[in-house]
Chain A
Amino acid sequence: MRLKVANCRSPRLVPPPRAPAPLPSQTAERIETHAIQRFGVPSPLAHGLQADMQLYLPIAELSVNVFVLLGLGGGIGFLSGLFGVGGGFLMTPALIFIGVPPAVAVASEANQLVATSITGVIAHWRRRSVDFKMGLVLLCGGVVGSSIGVYIFKILRNIGQVDLTISLLYVVFLGAIGTLMFAESLRSILRSRGGRIQRTKLHSHTWLHGLPLKVRFRRSRLYISALLPFSIGLLVGILAALMGVGGGFIMVPAMIYLLGMPTSVVAGTSLFQILFVVTNVTFLQAYTNQTVDVVLALILLVGSVVGVQIGSAVGARVSGAQFRILLAALVLATCGKLLLDLLLEPNDLYSLQIGAGGGH
């Protein structure tokens, strides 16, 4: 082997900067690089301080700032307690945003939701706002559905369409629910300002009430077919496993608008069934994919158990309409961002998936 020695002193000698300067972008992967550069590599001056705040996550295999995780847990826990939703639909994208691999984010979020929903259920139980009978029927559907969902998730990951599916599901559901919620709370705000009380029929009979297996749900003051809540639980379970959420943001509107449950028992009952769905998802994800990061889940739940208490205390006192409109705006913003990411040309058309499991 012979190299041209004459070329040795070429002007191309000057090395480029340590890493190519990342362009401003919206993709999680690029931001991940940013995050690592900003938080991950300690500068000599801030070394002592940063070393204390950094935490290495054993399953996610990356280092993150503890206060970022505590803040995320607290803020989203607050919303969770306030509205009776799991908060997963905000937490999962947030985790992916700070660089956690999507597969780990989905599974660890389910683990964290186990704690959040238990705390929530206890709080609602004290206020006697859980319809256990309805919850039981819903969770039967939910457990079956989430098992199917974890299986579908695995297939989608093998063919490389899991990110697309997640994004599309979020866009469709967040878009629809955000719009519904926005319109509804806007109406109720206007109504209360106008001082007119609009009476609606307590129960309207449709073909849904003709279904067999009719069961009386006392606390919900309903006499409907058990098939109805079962299939809602099933569908929400599938979506919950696919989207890495508890499914409260779909469950709550479904209970109000489809089942016609009184709003006083909706939050507690949905949390009750979410508890069992996320327990099932956590176990299946840990067993089949080894993607549950218990350290990540623990840090998140320390923040969220506090947040959820404050949230549910506040939720019991204030009128929901003003807060619901904020949540609706948040839901629509998340939806819009995800839609833009699908429509705009990505900075890099290529992405990597390392090993058989996980990765981006």
Chain B
Amino acid sequence: MRLSLLLLLAICATIGSARGEQLVADLSAHEIKITSGFAGTELLLFGTTGGEGEVVVIVSGPPSETIVRKKDRVSGLWINTESVRFEGVPGFFFVAASREMSAEDVEEILRQYSIGLRYQNIEPVNGIAPERLAAFREALVRRKASHGLYNDMTGQVKMIGDTLFRTTIEFPATVPTGDYQVEVYNVQDGWVKSVTSIALHVGKVGMEQLIFRFAHDYPAFYGIFAIAVAALAGYGAGILFGRR
């Protein structure tokens, strides 16, 4: 693993120097397979800037509709009272930057390219006053972060020498399935010099995929199947233990 990484970095370095100032990056795997033993995973992202400048890595998961609900005290009980529905909320979000980048710089890039939960154009569906909306937006980020699905500025890109870089991206067990966008920005003197993107797919495989598809494509048969399995198991146990 370590050796192959070094090898890849060496190759990157050669490519970088051969082609001049070109940003090259890749992931240790382009697919995350969710099997029965899946308990979250880590991917290694590495590459070369081909020249000077800093690196920002942004990973964004498949978008989905998300409802944020707020509780209020109603006659002594905490009850959901208000809700805002957001569309196109990325199911997973990760930002990492190299050492020389300040938090403000990264925020600026996120704003300029409208990425991330804060700056992306995720519009609330139902109308709500803008000053109240901010709290709902923050809550969205906070809840996602508490599930390890939103890592804002927590990762760090390590520079090796002047041009090589690497970082690890952590995916929790609850990582949503679908196509991911992995983008690497080369920033120099406050300017984004070049961008490269890498494909990443998260999907269930084998038995997990089979059961999931069965449940969603043939729900009636799946229901009967689930009942039959449980009934057989229960009946079998009853007979088995009854003979004792």
- Mark A residues whose CB is within 8 Å of B: 1-5, 7-10, 12-13, 15-20, 22, 29-30, 32-33, 36-37, 39-42, 50-52, 54-56, 58-59, 61-63, 111-112, 114-119, 121-123, 126, 160-161, 163-164, 279, 282-288, 290, 292, 294-295, 297-298, 301-302, 305-306, 308-309, 342-346, 348-356
Contacts and interface: CB of A to CB of B under 8 A. Distances in A.
Contacts of A33: 146-148
Interface string B124-140: 00000000000110011
A123 B238 contact: yes
Contact of B77 (A116, A122, A343, A350): A343
Contacts of A37: 148
B119 interface: no
A316 to B, nearest CB: 13
Contacts of A305: 233-234, 237, 241
Given A2-B191, A114-B231, A343-B76, A55 B37 contact: yes
Contacts of B10: none
13 contacts: A3-B108, A13-B99, A36-B147, A58-B211, A63-B40, A114-B227, A119-B237, A297-B230, A305-B234, A308-B237, A351-B69, A351-B71, A352-B67
The 9 closest A-B pairs by CB, nearest first: A3-B190, A122-B238, A286-B223, A118-B234, A350-B139, A115-B234, A305-B237, A63-B173, A114-B230
Given A19-B145, A115-B237, A349-B71, A122 B242 contact: yes
B153 interface: yes
Interface residues of B, number: 90
A286 B189 contact: no
Contacts of A114: 227, 230-231, 234
A58 B204 contact: yes
Contact of A15 (B91, B156, B176, B222): B156
A240 B168 CA distance: 46
Contact of A298 (B153, B155, B190, B233): B233
Q: Name B's interface SS.
A: mixed
Nearest to A353: B67
Interface in B120-172: 135-136, 139-140, 142-148, 151, 153-156, 170, 172
Nearest to B148: A19
Among A54, A111, A284, A349, the one with the most B-chain Cβ atoms within 10 Å of its Cβ is A349
A350 B230 contact: no
B233 A301 contact: yes
Interface stretch (B21-29, B43-51, B78-86): B78-86
Contacts of A2: 190-191
B105 A123 contact: no
Given A56-B173, A126-B242, A348-B142, A36 B234 contact: no
A13 B38 CA distance: 33
B196 interface: no
B7 interface: no
A298 B234 CA distance: 10
A355 B178 CA distance: 14
B224 A283 contact: yes
A53 to B, nearest CB: 9
B100 interface: yes
A160 B69 contact: yes
A280 B183 CA distance: 48
A351 B99 CA distance: 34
B33 to A, nearest CB: 11
B17 interface: no
Contacts of B234: 114-119, 122, 301, 305
B191 to A, nearest CB: 7
A147 to B, nearest CB: 13
Contacts of B189: 3, 5
A32 B156 CA distance: 26
Nearest to B65: A355
Contact of A348 (B103, B139, B219): B139
B136 A350 contact: yes
A101 to B, nearest CB: 10
A16 B36 CA distance: 32
Among A32, A350, A351, the one with the most B-chain Cβ atoms within 10 Å of its Cβ is A350
Given A20-B146, A115-B237, 17 more contacts: A3-B189, A3-B191, A4-B190, A17-B154, A29-B147, A37-B148, A52-B37, A115-B233, A118-B234, A119-B235, A164-B79, A279-B231, A283-B223, A287-B223, A309-B241, A345-B78, A350-B140
Contact of B143 (A117, A279, A284, A350): A350
A54 B37 contact: yes
Given A5-B189, A63-B39, A346-B78, A36 B102 contact: no
Among A16, A40, A121, the one with the most B-chain Cβ atoms within 10 Å of its Cβ is A40
B148 A36 contact: yes
Contact of A160 (B35, B83, B91, B231): B83
